[in-house]
Amino acid sequence: MRLLIFFLSVSLAVVAQGQSDGSVWTLRECVNYAQENNLNLALSQLDQRAANTEARRSRHSRWPSLSASSNFGYNFGRTIDPTSNEFLTTSLGFNSISINSGLTVFNYNRINNSIRQAGIDQQVAQLNYEQVELDLSLQIANLYLNALLAKENEKIAEAQFKNIENQLDRTSRLVQSGAQPKAAEFELKAELAAQRQLWVDAENNAYIALLQLKQALQLGIETDFNIADPPSEISVEPSEVKSATEIFQRSLATQPEYRAAEMNVRSASLGRKIAQSAFYPSLTLGLNVNSNYSTQGRFLEGTELVSQSVPAQFQGEMGNLTFLTSNPIFSSPGWLDQIDNNLGFGFAFQLQVPIYNNYNNRANLQQAKIQRIRAEKQLDLQEQTIRIDVERAVADLRAASKSYDAAQSAYEAAQVAYDNTEKQYNLGSSSSFEFFQSQQRLQSAQLQKNVAKYDYIFRQKIVDFYLGNPITL
């Protein structure tokens, strides 16, 4: 019955188009306020945002990953210089940096299917949000109509009270003139007290109905709040009701829940394909750029010749033998120079072939198949629910139409009877008991007509909603 979703946004919004003044709220304003402040709707909106984020993440999984890392440390004692791979026995500070990138080359269409599934789930979240909106609108609509009905019943009770009050005043004058017995005045006073109680009950019912609407809007109990009066004349003319089959076929395109169920089937089908991809090899490409720095790092700048003389004896004579040696010249480069000089590049392909992973892939595939069957059953259940709701809505509308016609006829007959009894009572040819009975029948008929009128309007809007027609009063 969430179908009445739209019901008030457009329908009873007629109750007052434009902005209401002060504390008097129209139906449209009540629905708008509820949609802006309802906590369930806020939670659904968060679900929608989460689905949007997941869809964006799945799209980005198509692109290469990129990460950078760096570390710094200090070694003591014998160690290896990372810049020269030499063994040193000294304290050594070092720093290395690397940039890595990875790209999935092949994974049996897993990424593409994940992107499609995330897009569908995103649309499902949007439809679920719309459904919560509609459910909230229906709730506010029901409470608003109940408050309108309670207000009208209160007016009827007040009018009846004032009518008896006028009768009592007229009868009191007739009693004083001797035209009516004193008992007639007593009977009217008793009837006035009884009608006063009915009026108080109607006032209490109107207050409770308004309080329930206020609570649904999450307004404080002390908030100055009232609802706008309905149009003076609301059309309740019976119209030709289309067949339930025709309404059902048209309703399948208007119900967010049904469209969400359809998309869940598509999402589950993609989930099965995603699970199947785990049985196939995957190929990834990795790229790496790295470099390092050491506090003991040094660069060879060149060499220099150094002469050395050593005493030597040759053929019995002493002399000096001179040697020339080449000594390397080293410099201690800075961090940036070492990083630039020690740059290294590389790439690698990684092929991963699944052989056995403790039944995980097989279990995931079985779960995905079950989820698809579940989604299909949910779609069938949703279709069945809509069909039942439509058939019930059509039957209720026809019944409400007949009830309203009967209530209208009963009210007109009660009005004629009351007018006739009132004339006879004023002429003294009818007893006060007969007058009160006629008055009670008229009040009861008027209340029943009121209830039948709002019930018929409600049922008519439900059918209009399923047909996708604009809902107006």
What tokens appear for 111 in the block? 């990424």
Rounded Cα distance, 309 and 398, in Å:
127
pLDDT of res. 311: 77
Q: Phi and psi dihedrals of 289, rounded to 5?
A: -130, 130
| Averaged pLDDT, 155-180 | 82
| Averaged pLDDT, 418-432 | 79
Tell me the pLDDT band of 6, cut-offs 50, 70 and 90: very low
Rounded Cα distance, 158 and 156, in Å:
5
Tell me the pLDDT band of 9, cut-offs 50, 70 and 90: very low
Task: State the chain's mean pLDDT as an integer.
Answer: 83
Q: What is the pLDDT of residues 223-249, one digit of tens each?
A: 888 888 766 555 566 556 678 888 898
pLDDT of res. 236: 61
pLDDT of res. 182: 82
Lowest mean pLDDT among 76-80, 208-212, 392-396, 441-445: 76-80
Q: What is the pLDDT of residues 251-272, one digit of tens each?
A: 888 888 899 999 999 999 999 9
Q: What is the pLDDT of residues 354-404, one digit of tens each?
A: 999 899 999 999 999 999 999 999 999 999 999 999 999 899 888 988 888
pLDDT of res. 31: 85
Q: Where are the domains of the chain?
A: 2-297+332-467
Residue 22 region, left (φ>0) first, then alpha (ψ -120 to 50), else beta?
Answer: left
pLDDT of res. 468: 65
| Averaged pLDDT, 172-182 | 79
**pLDDT above 80 (res 154):** yes
pLDDT of res. 203: 93
pTM of structure:
0.76
Is 32 within 8 Å of 163 (Cβ atoms)?
Answer: no
**pLDDT above 50 (res 451):** yes
Q: CATH 1.20.1600.10: does it fit domain 2-297+332-467?
A: yes
Tell me the pLDDT band of 469, cut-offs 50, 70 and 90: low
pLDDT of res. 32: 87
**pLDDT above 90 (res 471):** no
In DSSP notation, 155-218 reads HHHHHHHHHHHHHHHHHHHHHHHTSS-HHHHHHHHHHHHHHHHHHHHHHHHHHHHHHHHHHHTT
The pLDDT > 90 percentage for the chain reads 37
